[in-house]
Structure 1
Amino acid sequence: MARHRLLSALQSAAAGGVPILSRLPRHRPPPLHLCRSTAASSAAAAAAPATLPFSAVPGPSVVPLLRNLPHMLPGGRYFKMPAIQQLELCRQEYGPIWKIELPWQRPMLFLARPEDVKEVFLADGPIPKRQDFEAFAAYRTSRGLGVGIAAAEGEQWKEYRELGQTVLGGPQSALRYVDKITDAADMFIRHLRSVRGGPQSTEQAPPYTVSNFQESAKLWAFESMNTMALGAPIGIYERDAEAARLFNGTMELFECFTELNQAVPLWRVFPTPLYRRMARSTDVVWDTCSQYVRRALAEPISGSMVAMVADQVTSDRKLMMVTDIIGDLLLSSIDTTSTTLTYLIHCLAVHPECQERARQEVLAALPSAGDQPTADTIPQLSYLKACLKEALRIHHVTAGVGRVLSKELVLSGYTVPAGVRCVPLSMLMALDPHLFPEPERFLPERWLRASPQYQKVAQYAYLPFGHGPRMCVGRRFAELESWVAAAQLLRQFRITTSTPEFGKVMKLINMPDRPIDFQLNDL
């Protein structure tokens, strides 16, 4: 799960009777063309471009002690402004690089140039630093427990990653779970058939409507990950009590993370009600997950993630780490993967010519009703894969995945010190007409090398899952799950939608701002 601190999150700092502040003047960016040194004493200096200090990076005006906070408070120019709109406005006003400074956190530097993003990721080193989910990490640490891959830092993260590699593996590793992913997709389709409307038509609900598709897709993403991790579904469609407890606890914890990112971090001083709520849901998720993992280890199912690491679980600590990894995968998959599939299916629904081309490709790879996706047939779905890439370009699931700089860098001519949190805004770069011609157009062919419409993408301009060793841990699974689920849907249904347009709200991820309904008409 790619994750970052949200600018809109800072609006909640206005709570508690803060007086209204008038709008402050903005810090305008310096000229784009930087002068070169003319120092006669050094030929090297004369040839090198001049750099500006970090204080010169454009951004909202700064007030002593409060820094940029007044802009987020009542009367401030960003008060109650949706986060996505705020980022777009800053990009327009300040250019491809700007900073936000708040009293309680590291300076945040936002980047919308691929060249700068490249420098940040190339400077990662062997142990990249993100510092996400601080409240969660603080609570787990206070209990003497691990924090998982997503929240761990330093050597602890390295240890988690080494164990996780047994499960996560390389780029092709998700394919070893394709049978289980297909089983989960088939369960999902049976569920969709059970919840879609009947043949009767009403003005409010056209025939065969699946209302709020993403809510059903969350159940699919949850059970799909459980099937891979544990070897078998755990009964969320049958409303099993323990499965429901894990699902609801995971949803609750995701909401807590979102709200914690929206609030001043008073939990650092005392356990706020929100912090205690996060702690309770954390206990529910990890305690329940631990029970599932223990049972799966007692009788490992061949081909499951637990079976892959069973011989390494030789202590309570290793058991805790395996549970943490499974918990991370659940947290990073439910909302992220369900949103990914929803965006893909919506793009296919509103572009029927693309849907039909993708369907014919699927039928060519799987011509018989009994054929199932395999590691051999998945590579044949090049157009469907291009559709997913294009859907995630237009509807980025995250704004960008941040890094805390471990060393000083020069970005867009500014000297950026170590310790600054950089947020590459892949979401904005993906809609930049200079990087992607006709950026608002859904054009899967731009990703197909054999197509006349193929466009070579600038390196680091398209990063929907982040980049490097700390990219979204569930990326390969989310992609494969989405391809398989979409392929199975296309084989059985012609898909239309009564929700042709929607906006997005930024929580931990960018989610549709309204329920999206699909009509699934049998072929």
Structure 2
Amino acid sequence: MLRAVRCVVRRPGALALQARSLSTSSLHQARSLSASSLHQARSLSTSLHQARATDAAQQHATQRDAAEKEAVKSIDEVPSPPRWPVLGSLPYMIYHRLTGSKKIFRFFVGLVEAYGPVVRLESPLSPKTILISRPDDCEALIRATMNNPIRDGFESLKKIRVEAVDDYFEGKAGILPENGAEWWRVRSRVQTPMMKSSVVSCYVTLMDDVTLEFMDRMAALQQQYGEMPKDFQTEIYKWALESVGLVALNRRLGCLDPNLPADSEPMILIDLVNDIFACLNKVEIESELWKYIPTKPFRTLRAKHKEFLKIAERHILEAEAVVRGKEEGDNGDVTLMERLLLTDGLTRKDVITFILDMLFAGIDTTSHALGFTMYLLAVTPSVQSKLQQEVDAVLGDLGGPLTHQHLARLTYLKAVVKEAMRLFPLVNGVVRTLEHDMVLGGYLIPKGWMVVAFSLVMGWDEALFPRAKEFIPERWLRHRPLGAIHPYAVLPFGAGTRMCVGRRIAEQEMYIFLARVMQRYNIEYHYDDMEIISRLVSTPSQPLRFNITDRHT
């Protein structure tokens, strides 16, 4: 008994220990529970806060959308020059001598200055049109029409091809005038070889050979006339046709022969292209009467197009024969024409039509761009000197061959070209016809209206380009010393899925040409200031009478 009592008496210490252990465990559990509860409470509070913030944001967005919807104005409220019933603004346009004007760009600049960045323009001679001149609106237009970029233009060319008596074009017109599914069928198949740098760069050495030959031609002209002759633009046309012929036909056409007679095929092709563009300017811009009766300009266009096709087709067929005559297993370079002929989904006539348009569109565009750029370099010696320094650093006394690695290092040269095309754009802007209603500049524009984004106006806007009238290539360098540039403010090659399919070829041609000119010559110009003559493709207003001197003699 006594022993048992003693045992019992001793146990209170163990019980106390257990009690303390239990108490500690309970405390830990309580604290853990308390922390967990606190965490859950805090999480719940955060969730409630986030939910409230989300609700507030949604409510704000709804209120904003409602406010914007209320703020959107109708098409009738878009500022416009005076309009008359049926005639629209045609009397105003005639009064301001728009029809047939070589300075049509001044009319459009004046419209923007008078009526603002969104202008309505109507005439019975053209589609209902909205002019926009803000980069944000231009970007919205390009993005909204990305899937089906309808561009009204070259309708006369389409009519000629679709209605050809012998059905040569098989009822199709090519990517220049086509829209919708037929346009995309061809465009989607030709854009990879045309836009892929690895394909285009294969022609660098060949283009450089042509350009080096042209440099010698310039030296001969300087010696003969004491400066570049009045028709030096035609000389650049010859270089351009020879260069694009290398890509389109993979052959030399002989355009740079110093004794080239006026009745030679290269000269006839050049003259035909100039005549075709002159006729297109009349039928596409000045009057659409040709849609109802075959006007003289339309008949001339049809005849010139037929003649151009006859000569070009022979060269195309000869080049095609060479391609098809290559032995199986020949591992030589694959030409552009060969790539196109082997492309699934393209017919032989598709390829011929595309090559035809390359020859047709590849002469005036690069030639005029180079004329403007050489002028700017000639009248801005500081820029010319800086470009020559870059060319000397990259090329040195390189006689050839120039490579695409050289071109990749000529960053200032590329800035020079961009700045030249800002000051002297080849086209007024980007054109789209709306498939759906959309808001531009706060106005609801109905579907079916044509919208013209005037990059010409944007490129000259001091608010977008400080010192806009000055030739400052530095503004395009990576660090943007004059401030950020909106990516849709200047679009010399268009944008989106309808961007110029020949862009890489044209840029490569210009880079090679200018690099070789700057490597060898100093350029001067001592005549009247250059302006734009408004045509389908803008042209220099003055003869390119440059004076060149060899830098190394």
Q: Does 1:469 align with 2:497?
A: yes
2:400 is matched with: 371
CA contact (8 A) 1:289 1:323 kept: no
Query: The residue matched to 2:363 in structure 1 has which SS?
Result: helix
Aligned to 2:39: none
1:496 is aligned to 524
* 2:235 is aligned with 1:213: no
**1:131 alignment partner in structure 2:** 152
Deviation at 1:122, TM superposition (A): 0.4
Matched, 1:117 2:166: no
Residue identity in the other structure for 1:249: L
State percent identity of aligned pairs: 29
The residue number in structure 1 matching 2:353 is: 324
Considering fraction of residues, name the structure with more helix: 2
State the structure with more CA Rg.
2
- Answer yes or no: is the 8 Å Cα contact 2:251–2:319 preserved in 1: no
Amino acid at match of 1:247: I
1:196 maps onto 2:225 in alignment = no
Report the Cα distance in structure 1 between the residues aligned to 2:285 and 2:190, rounded to whole angstroms: 30
Deviates more, 1:391-400 or 1:298-307: 298-307
Among 327, 342, 350, the residue aligned to 1:311: 342
Of residues 438, 446, 452, the one that matches 2:467 is 438
Is the Cα contact below 8 Å between 1:133 and 1:257 reproduced in 2? yes
Where do 5+ consecutive residues of structure 1 fail to align? 1-40, 199-204
- Matched to 1:90, the amino acid is L
Matched residue SS, 1:320: helix
Task: Report the more deviating stretch, 236-245 or 500-509.
Answer: 236-245
Structure 1 residue 163 and structure 2 residue 189: aligned?
Answer: yes
d(CA) in 2 for partners of 1:92, 1:362: 40
1:61 to 82, 99, 103: 82
Determine the structure 1 residue equivalent to 2:536. 508
The one-letter code sitting in structure 2 at the alignment partner of 1:376 is Q
Aligned counterparts of 2:190 and 2:454: Cα–Cα separation in 1: 27
Distance 1:310 1:45, change over 3 A: closer
SS of match in other structure, 1:233: coil
Does 1:424 pair with 2:429? Answer: no
Cα distance in 2, alignment partners of residues 230 and 124 from structure 1: 33
Give the drift of 1:217: 1.2
**CA drift at 1:163:** 3.1
Pick closer, same or farther for the CA change 1:249–1:364 going to 2, 3 Å.
same
* AA at the equivalent of 2:470: R
Distance 1:52 1:313, change over 3 A: closer
Change (3 A) 1:374 1:90: same
Does structure 2 conserve the Cα–Cα contact (< 8 Å) formed by 1:227 and 1:304? no
Instruction: Rate the CA distance shift 1:50–1:324 in 2: closer, same or farther, 3 A.
Output: same
Cα 1:47–1:515 shift into 2, 3 Å: closer
Change (3 A) 1:483 1:129: same
**1:8-56 per-position Cα deviation (integer Å, ceiling 9, x unaligned):** xxxxxxxxxxxxxxxxxxxxxxxxxxxxxxxxx9885246451111121
Question: Is the Cα contact below 8 Å between 1:286 and 1:323 reproduced in 2?
Answer: no
Answer yes or no: is 1:243 the counterpart of 2:266.
Answer: yes
Residue identity opposite 1:309 in structure 2 = L
Gap change, CA 1:256 and 1:183, over 3 Å in 2:
same
Give the CA RMSD over aligned residues.
Answer: 2.3
- Secondary structure of the residue aligned to 1:226 is helix
Task: Name 1:294's counterpart in structure 2.
Answer: 317
Query: Which AA in structure 1 matches 2:160?
Result: Y
Distance in structure 1 (CA, Å) of the matches to 2:509 and 2:99 = 38
The letter for the 1-side match of 2:235 is S
Aligned-partner Cα distance in 1 for 2:530–2:319: 41
CA–CA separation in structure 2 for the residues paired with 1:141 and 1:84: 32
The C-alpha deviation readout for 1:404-424, integer Å capped at 9, x for no partner, is 111111011100011111111
Change (3 A) 1:276 1:306: same
Stretches of structure 2 that go unaligned for 5 or more consecutive residues are 1-61, 324-331
Residues of 1 paired with 2:351 and 2:158: CA distance? 17
Deviation, 1:425, is 0.6
Flag the 1:412–1:270 CA change in 2: closer, same or farther, 3 A. Answer: same
In structure 2, the partner of 1:3 is none
**Residues 347-366 of structure 1 mapped to structure 2, 5 A cutoff:** 347-366=376-395
Could you state the TM-score of these two structures normalised by the residue count of structure 1? Answer: 0.85
Q: Structure 1 CA distance, aligned partners of 2:268 and 2:64?
A: 68
In structure 1, C-alpha distance between the alignment counterparts of 2:317 and 2:363, rounded to whole Å:
22
- Is the CA contact (8 Å cut-off) linking 2:460 and 2:468 kept in structure 1? yes
Q: Is the 8 A contact 1:71 1:79 kept in 2?
A: no
Residue 166 of structure 1 deviates from its aligned partner by 4.6
Pairs within 5 Å for 1:64-83: 64-73=85-94, 75=95, 78=98, 82-83=103-104
Q: 1:382 aligns with which of 411, 414, 417?
A: 411
* CA distance in structure 2 between the aligned counterparts of 1:309 and 1:248, rounded to whole angstroms: 28
Amino acid at match of 2:303: R
